[in-house]
Each structure stands twice: as C-alpha cells, then as structure tokens.
Amino acid sequence: MERISHTCKIEVRFVDIDVMGHVNNAVYLNYFEQARMHFFRAKIGTEWDWVNHGILLARNEIDYKEPTLLFDDLHIETWLGKVGTKSLEMEYEVFVPESGSRKIKAKGKSVLVCFDYTRKCTTEVPEVWRSLSNS
C-alpha cells in the first residue's frame, strides 16, 4: 500500500548553520514543525479549527544520517504513522533528491496528542486525520 504523504521543500537558512558548517541538530525540530503544518494544510485545508481540534507535541525522535549543508536542496516527506484513540505519530524523512533517488539526511517521528484548547482537555483523533493514516 502506498503511503499517504506530503513532501515540501525546506529552505536552509544561514542562521540554521552551526560552527561545524552544517545544520545544527536542534534546527531539525523546526523543520519538522514546518513539514507537519504543510502536511495538514495540504490534506485538510486552511479552515481547520485548531482551537477546538488542536494538537500538543508530546515527543520527538530524530535519527541523523548525514550532515545537511547550507545550499542543500532540502525536502521533507511527512506522513501519519500509528494512530491511537487520542494520539498519533507523524513521521518525517529529510532528504536531498539525487539522480532519481534520495540522499537521506535524517529521519524522525513526533507523537502528537489531540487537544481541545477551549475545554482544556484531550480529545479523540478526528476521523479525517484517521483516514490519512498509513497504519
């Protein structure tokens, strides 16, 4: 089964680069956040009610494979992994396209908890999100 995913381009900024000349490890969390919002915008649109059907970030994991440099043509493919009752996993593959394949820079995963900011409580994963899961 082909996974339901979204790929976006990420601009590597000069401020992202550390003294070693590559993207600092902490910056990948910002890249994941950008990719996550690109995914939701592409799959559920811009009119989603994030106040009543929002998310909390509970956990991040990153496996660094190769340094990312300033002028790399960086992309992130994002998809939903496991979906529970009130939480879901979002997975990321950070890569540079290369001759019909990918040079993997990092892989990651976030655990997101569905949250109603008005009532200040966790909620069940919306059905529309569940339908985007690859599990």
Q: Residue 75: which domain range? A: 5-130
The mean pLDDT of 43-72, rounded to a whole number, is: 94
**Do residues 100 and 88 make contact, with C-beta atoms less than 8 angstroms apart?**
no
pLDDT tens for 70-126 read 999 999 999 999 999 999 999 999 999 998 899 999 999 999 999 999 999 999 999
Residue 115: CATH number of its domain: 3.10.129.10
84 part of a folded domain: yes
Residue type, 19: V
Burial status of residue 49 (CB atoms within 10 A of its CB: 0-12, 13-18, 19 or more): exposed
* Count of domains for the chain: 1
The answer to whether residue 23 sits within a structural domain is yes
Segment 41-70 mean pLDDT:
94
pLDDT at 135: 62
For residue 78, tell me if it sits in a domain: yes
Q: How many CA atoms lie within 13 A of 113 on its CB side?
A: 10
Percent with pLDDT over 70 in the chain: 98
Position 1 pLDDT exceeds 80: no
Yes or no: say if 54 and 115 are a contact pair by the CB < 8 Å rule: yes
Interval 22-43 mean pLDDT? 97
Contact 106, 28 (CB under 8 A): yes
In a domain, 123, yes or no: yes
Name, of 1-5, 50-54, 114-118, 127-131, the range with top average pLDDT. Answer: 114-118
80 in Cβ contact with 107 (< 8 Å): no
Is 75 part of any domain? yes
Strand 54-64 versus strand 101-116 pairing type: antiparallel
Domain-located, residue 34: yes
Q: Is residue 135 part of a domain?
A: no
Note whether residue 97 is domain-resident. yes
